[in-house]
Amino acid sequence: MADSFSKNRPLRISTLYAFIFVLLLLVACNKQSSKQANDWPELGPAEKIEPGIAFHQVTIRGAKSSMRIWLYLPDNPAQEKLPCILIAPAGSRLFHGMSLGEGDRPEHLPYVREGFIVAAYELDGPLADSPDDDEIIAAARAFKEADAGVANSSTTLDYLLAKVPAIDRDRIYTAGHSSAATVSLLVAAHNPRVKACVAYAPACDVVGRVGEQLIDILSSDIPGYREFIRRSSPDHMANDLRCPIFLFHADDDSVVPTSEVTSFAETLKKTNSNLTYVRVSRGDHYDSMIDEGIPKAIEWLKGL
């Protein structure tokens, strides 16, 4: 593997991708055209995935791609207007998008059980496990064109506000785990309709995690790619994060080092007095979020 990086041999992107996949282990992490309300697809019949929760799947089709939204609604809401949480799927390697899968549901359902509307949305540029070079470039380009998922979240919110009148516009939040926590921070920085952000074990240094070699290669095929990666990294956008932030991390996280998240938190504190940083001692990358992170974040959101 190390020989693949030799200057005396051509470097295939897919080889570098495989190497990065092993290193990162982020196992948790097209701009849509604007539409009028009557252009959006209808919600359609609800599916009962568990008592008290109505589930809808909607596909939004754009000029170049389509994205699915998984919408969860409490059956018997205690209030007329409900808070809403936007959640992207985790598992990306930070330079491409991600599709929704059944493994994402454990992150969604706890909020709905507590009276929140949840909208999980896909990220343009999903990538298969063993892609070739052309697929990698195409996925990276699509992810860039979607502003690292910011466009996907904006389209999702546009749809929700047109089709789900139960949403409280003053309680729209974003949440995510691992690579999706990075997306959550980006969304909060760029969408003023989002009133608070939850980020569990985010990758805060995207440039360092994607790596200079892959950035160089993708930059040769995708104009403006290096600047895109830089501005999609949380450690370069702290000044833009003005809403309340809930940051969560476990000290024994084997994927995202505590030092990376703590350093970002220290930077963020300088410009955002509404930061809550919760550290727990154990639970590793995923279980800590499920067992402690989500319950603590729900309590925090309810207190806003």
Q: What is the pTM of this model?
A: 0.88
Rounded to a whole number, what is the distance in angstroms from the first to the last CA of the chain?
A: 49
Helix (H, G, I), strand (E, B) or coil at 217: helix
Where the chain has pLDDT below 70, the residues are: 1-38, 63
Dihedral sign of CA atoms 14, 203, 251, 113 in order:
negative
Rounded CA separation 131/140 (Å): 12
Contact in structure between 253 and 284 (CB atoms under 8 Å): yes
Which residues lie below 8 Å from residue 182, measured CB to CB, with a gap of 6+? Answer: 29, 94, 176, 199, 202, 203, 204, 206, 232, 233, 234
**pLDDT tens digits, 131-173:** 999 999 999 999 999 999 999 999 999 999 999 999 999 999 9
Q: How far is CA 277 from the centre of its chain?
A: 19
Contact in structure between 272 and 241 (CB atoms under 8 Å): yes
Q: How far is CA 103 from the centre of its chain?
A: 15
H or E stretch covering 280: strand 275-280
As for how many domains the chain has, the answer is 1
Which residues lie below 8 Å from residue 287, measured CB to CB, with a gap of 6+? Answer: none
Residue 118, number of CB atoms within 10 A of its CB = 25
| Residue 95 belongs to domain spanning | 2-302
Q: How far is CA 158 from the centre of its chain?
A: 17
What is the domain-level CATH number for residue 163? 3.40.50.1820
